[in-house]
Each structure stands twice: as C-alpha cells, then as structure tokens.
Amino acid sequence: MTPPAKLIIAAQFYPPDATTTAVYVGKIADSLARDSQVVVISATKGSRSVGQPRNPEIVELKSWSPRKSAIIQRAAAICLLAAKMFFSVLRRATSDDIVFCVTTPFTLPYTVLLAAKLRGAKTMLLIYDLYPEALEAAGMVRSNSLAVRLIRFANTLLFRHLDAIIVIGRDVPPLLGRYRGVIADQLHFIPNWPLIAIGYRKTDPASRFRAPDPSRFIVGLSGNLGFTHDPATVFEAARLLRNERDIHFVLSGWGVGWTVLNDLFAKDRLENVTILEPVLEDELVDFLSAADLWVIPYRRHVAGVSIPSRLYNILAVGRPVVVTSEANSEGALVVGEGTIGWVVPPENPAELARAIREAASDRQATMDKGVRAAGIAEKYREDVALARYRQVVGDVSRARTPR
C-alpha cells in the first residue's frame, strides 16, 4: 500500500462526541493512521484532547451550535463551519495529500473539497446522507424547487471531480448514477458495522425493559428518529394491535420523531405502549436484548438517502427486524439476506401490524430468525469494514492524477 504524504479528514463530529457518526469517523481515522499521518479537522469541542500528541493529529475548530428550533441560526452556523473548514484545509493540504470529507453537515463537502482541489490534493467523500434527496424524501422541499436544482447542480460539479466516493448502502449508487460524470470506478460500498460485540443474547425475563409482564411479546423501537423516519406508523400499528394482550410496544430514543410519538401518546395513551427516556449507552445491549422484535420505520422514497446504522446493533444481539421501506433499500436488502425479519411497505400501519402479529404467533420461528441475524452480523464486522477503508485510500494514493 502506498500511503499519501498525509490524509486530512474533515468532519463536524468526532470523539468525545458520542453520536454514531462521531464514533464511526473516530474508528476510521484511527485505522487509517496505521498507514499514514492523519490530520482530523473537527468541530467537536474537546476533540483535540482525544488525539494529541499521537497520530491522528486533531485540529479543533470552534463552532456555533444554535438550538434545533432556530432554523435560520442553524443554517448560518453550518455555512460558517463550511467556511472555516475551507480555510483550514486550504492552509494544510498539499498536492501529495488526500482530503477525505464526511457529508455532515451537507454544506461541508463543497468547501472542503474545493480547497483540496485548489491545492491539487486527491479527494474522497463519505456519504452518510445524500442531499437534496433526503430533504425531498422528508417532504421538506419540492423536487422542482430552485433550492433543489441548485444543490443538484453543485453535486454534479462535485461528484464528477472526486477520486473516490464511499457509500454505506447498496441503494446509493443508483441515485448517484443520475448525476452526469459519475462513473462506477469512483464508487465503493463499505457498510457500517455493529458498535457492540456480536453474539446472540437470550432474553432475560428479569430485564426491567420487559416489566411488569416478561411473558409478553415485546416490540421495540429505539435510536434517533429523523425526518426520513415515520414513527406515526408504529404508533398506529400499536393501535391496531391494542386488543392483542400478549403484544406490547417499548419505545425509547430521541430526535424529531420522538416529539411526534410523545404527542400521539399524550392524545391517546394506548395501554400496549410504553415510552421510556433515552436509554443510556451502558444499558443499550440490555435494551436491545429485551425485545423480541425490532422495528425500523422509514418514510416513502428513502432508499439511498437514510443510514441503516442502528440495524447492525440489532443484528449483533440476535434479534429479527421489521423494516418499513422499499424493497431496494439497504435495510431491506440486509433483512432479506438470511430471512431474518420482515420488509413491509412504508407508511402502512396495517401491514406492519400484520408482520408483528405473524412474529408473535410463532415465537420459535421468530427466535430462529434472531439467531440467524447474529450470524449475518458477522458479515458486517468492524475489522472487515476498516480494512476496506484502508484499501480504498491506498488505491486513491496510487492513482497517478486526481480526477
């Protein structure tokens, strides 16, 4: 492997931030540092103390974090961060380097990779969320709006000049293929991996998450629910199953979707639904192991635009999943690999309720799906994914000239 002079990683989130994106980027940076000098430009407070004085070197930028409801201020903050990243990369990059950017926030790649090109460096992009497609799927913008057309134009200029584009879902390349100039050789599929140890866990009847009746069939929903998720479908499915006394829903997480769930629950306190405060990290394995079945509810048209990262932790503990999405989404493809769950149409509470009822009616078959899920999780190990990142960086470094 021919390492670059140095590898510059530009990312808003980095440890000690505990978000999934930060954890993944931190592990990627540590792995790539085995082959070359890595410089991480981060906007996470306290990140500089994580890496100094070892490799990777951390450059910490001061950032502004307005409250989530302050839309205008948040837009200004991400533009300001993109500008800071531009000058930071411009100051550090050389023609012998590789600049590696993450699509969080979505404004970052445009400025970071422009700075890299101005310095003659090679460029890589890791796509976690694809814009404007994610905004369209969430119903926040119209496909023919001026904003969407401008972002698509910027994407066309950006994508065609990248040396490598890493996607975490097999559903992303068809969307990228719509952009003129993107070629297959640029695209590299490297899925995410479980952030907990892989291994089937038996259900613990004494778990507090199964109380007060551990004999019930527990359906779980957890994690960050963003604009591309549809929590209302889960609640409406629970309403359809409210007379099924053996089925109970246990829900815990954060994000805009949980505001929707809490509002629905405040209006109609279904007896078969329990909503918990976000589960702490040290209880995550116990929580995931407590449910008999997990639901990942997507909205329509999210194939290729939403990350299925929580899926891998569910597989790791050995639990089956119901994914509400189109059949070509990455989550649906994973579930279909080993018959480890159900894929039902998105935004369809009746079909979701049907799948849950089927799972509860034959607990042994459902448990067997969970055992297979833990086996499927072995395909998505951390060491396998990180080796692929190192391989792609090596391939980009060996290429003679940037695109």
Regarding whether 285 and 355 lie in a shared domain, the answer is yes
Regarding whether 277 and 140 lie in a shared domain, the answer is no
> 198 lies in a domain?
no
Amino acid code (one letter) for 184: A
Amino acid code (one letter) for 226: G
Question: Would you call 342 helix, strand, or coil by DSSP?
Answer: strand
> 203 lies in a domain?
no
> 327 lies in a domain?
yes
Regarding whether 228 and 164 lie in a shared domain, the answer is no
Regarding whether 43 and 175 lie in a shared domain, the answer is yes
Please state, in angstroms and rounded to a whole number, the distance separating the CA atoms of residues 78 and 255.
19
Tokens read off for 44: 């996470």
| One pLDDT digit (tens) per residue for the chain, 403 residues | 566 789 999 999 999 998 899 999 999 999 999 999 999 999 999 988 765 557 899 999 998 877 765 667 878 888 899 999 999 999 999 999 999 999 988 899 999 999 999 999 999 999 998 998 888 887 888 888 998 999 999 999 999 999 999 999 999 999 999 999 999 999 999 999 999 999 999 999 999 999 899 999 999 999 888 888 999 999 999 999 999 999 999 999 888 888 899 999 999 999 999 999 999 889 999 999 999 999 999 999 888 887 778 899 999 999 999 999 999 999 999 999 889 999 999 999 999 999 999 999 999 999 999 999 999 999 999 999 999 999 999 999 988 666 6
Which residue is associated with the tokens 């590299």? 188
User: What per-residue confidence (pLDDT) applies to 99?
Assistant: 97
Regarding whether 183 and 108 lie in a shared domain, the answer is yes
Regarding whether 219 and 184 lie in a shared domain, the answer is no
Regarding whether 262 and 152 lie in a shared domain, the answer is no
User: What per-residue confidence (pLDDT) applies to 50?
Assistant: 63
Please state, in angstroms and rounded to a whole number, the distance separating the CA atoms of residues 359 and 169.
27
Residues with Cβ < 8 Å from 333, sequence gap 6 or more?
A: 170, 171
Starting at the earlier edge strand, list the strands of the sheet with 38-42.
57-60, 38-42, 7-11, 98-102, 122-127, 164-167, 187-189
Regarding whether 148 and 106 lie in a shared domain, the answer is yes
- 279 DSSP assignment: P
> 147 lies in a domain?
yes
Please report the sign of the dihedral spanned by the C-alpha atoms of residue 118, residue 120, residue 121, residue 126: positive
**CATH at residue 88:** 3.40.50.2000
- 10 Å CB burial of residue 90 (0-12, 13-18, 19+) is middle
User: Is the distance from CB of 231 to CB of 258 less than 8 angstroms?
Assistant: yes
For residue 239, count other CB atoms closer than 10 A to its CB: 15
Going through 82-195 in order, the beta strands assigned E by DSSP cover: 98-102, 122-127, 164-167, 187-189
For residue 216, count other CB atoms closer than 10 A to its CB: 18
Amino acid code (one letter) for 253: G
Regarding whether 220 and 115 lie in a shared domain, the answer is no
Q: Residue 177 sits in which domain range?
A: 7-193+381-398
For residue 120, count other CB atoms closer than 10 A to its CB: 13
> Based on C-alpha coordinates, what's the Rg of the chain?
22
For the chain, what is the domain count?
Answer: 2
Q: How many residues does the chain have?
A: 403
End-to-end CA distance of the chain: 20
Regarding whether 229 and 106 lie in a shared domain, the answer is no
Which strand (E) or helix (H) includes residue 387? Answer: helix 382-398
Regarding whether 179 and 109 lie in a shared domain, the answer is yes
> 1 lies in a domain?
no
CA distances in angstroms from 332 to 126, 232, 289, listed in the order given: 21, 20, 21
The distance from CA 312 to its chain's CA centroid, rounded to whole angstroms, is 10
Regarding whether 225 and 170 lie in a shared domain, the answer is no
> 202 lies in a domain?
no
Please state, in angstroms and rounded to a whole number, the distance separating the CA atoms of residues 235 and 270.
9
